[in-house]
């Protein structure tokens, strides 16, 4: 049995079926890391809109930011390097 540790920030709200695709990727490559695309929830209306394809990272001031993925990939589940 493969054991998996999952981290979620306190502001994350998951939906039905979010975990299975991530576990599928981890199961096929135990050394990989699977990260979901986090949709945007409007704080005023609670409407959910899809997030653009971005990757997270830190700048030199150690502030976390979202950067767009610079190249077009064949699909949304291919690894980002």
- pLDDT tens readout for residues 23-75: 888 888 888 777 777 788 888 998 988 888 788 888 899 998 888 877 766 76
CA distance 77 to 34: 9
Count of structural domains within the chain: 2
The answer to whether position 22 is within a domain reads: yes
Q: How many residues does the chain have?
A: 81
**What's the predicted TM-score (pTM) here?**
0.56
Give residues with Cβ within 8 angstroms of 39, minimum separation 6: 48, 49, 50, 51
The answer to whether position 1 is within a domain reads: yes
Are 54 and 79 part of one and the same domain? Answer: yes
The answer to whether position 4 is within a domain reads: yes
Are 76 and 54 part of one and the same domain? Answer: yes
CA distance 34 to 29: 10
Q: Name the residue range of residue 72's domain.
A: 50-81
Are 1 and 27 part of one and the same domain? Answer: yes
The answer to whether position 9 is within a domain reads: yes
């Amino acid at each position: 049995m493969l054991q998996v540790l999952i981290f979620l920030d306190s502001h994350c709200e998951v939906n039905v079926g979010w975990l299975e695709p991530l576990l599928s990727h981890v199961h096929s490559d135990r050394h990989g890391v699977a990260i979901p695309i986090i949709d945007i929830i409007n704080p005023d209306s609670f409407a959910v809109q899809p997030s653009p394809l971005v990757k997270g990272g830190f700048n030199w001031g150690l502030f976390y930011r979202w950067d767009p993925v610079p190249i077009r990939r064949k699909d949304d589940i291919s690894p980002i390097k």
